[in-house]
Structure 1
Amino acid sequence: MKRHDFKEQVVRDSLEMVGVIRTLEGCFDLILVGRRHESESSMFYGMNDWMEYPELGSVADMLVSSDSTFDGSVLVVQQQNKLGGMVGRQDYYNSVNFFSRREVPTVLDVQPETTGWPVI
């Protein structure tokens, strides 16, 4: 029994990308997506104007937007850039000042019957 799937698809423009993302609706219980994408890319040109949840990133926003029929879970990941590394014994990752206010992760417990995304 196959319990996971990895799918990579090359698209040429934002219309094709939206089409591919819409094909995921109803196919998976969990989709893992990245949060940050190259903002200058033609793939994301104009999408920021339509985003309902910009904090999730473009791809996750399409999956959870009000016009989406996707009924699974979306896990959004973001790669954190290192700042400086180790200096002596101080680890910048454990420093209170390492994360900016916008970078502090927020964990929400969302009930399965919830139909909208909670606003933080």
Structure 2
Amino acid sequence: MIKIYHNNRCRKSREGLQILEDSGKDFQIIKYLEDIPSKEELKKIINLLGIKPIELVRKNEAIWKSDYKGKELSEDDIISAMIQNPKLIERPIVINNDKAVIGRPPESINEIL
């Protein structure tokens, strides 16, 4: 099943959701600000994306700038920061079986459908 980690307040996330709706495929919406991924789940997502944890962080968020920017953080520290502050997680993330993309731009979602 296709999953989208979605934040309805984000325009790019809404555009990504529209692409999934238009595809006609079944998918699951995960509102990750409410249903916060576990550490294991977030590690799996990062692995599927083929990136380092820091690449999943929204570095322009105020909480990142005030609490984390410029500090020496391990990958585990960065993952913990995203779990404690899920709005730091880049969005939308779409997973289709063993493939995943960050929907920025939203059209990149088509690559895994």
Larger radius of gyration: 1
TM-score (norm 1): 0.24
**Bigger relative contact order, structure 1 or 2, given CA contacts below 8 A and separation 6+?**
2
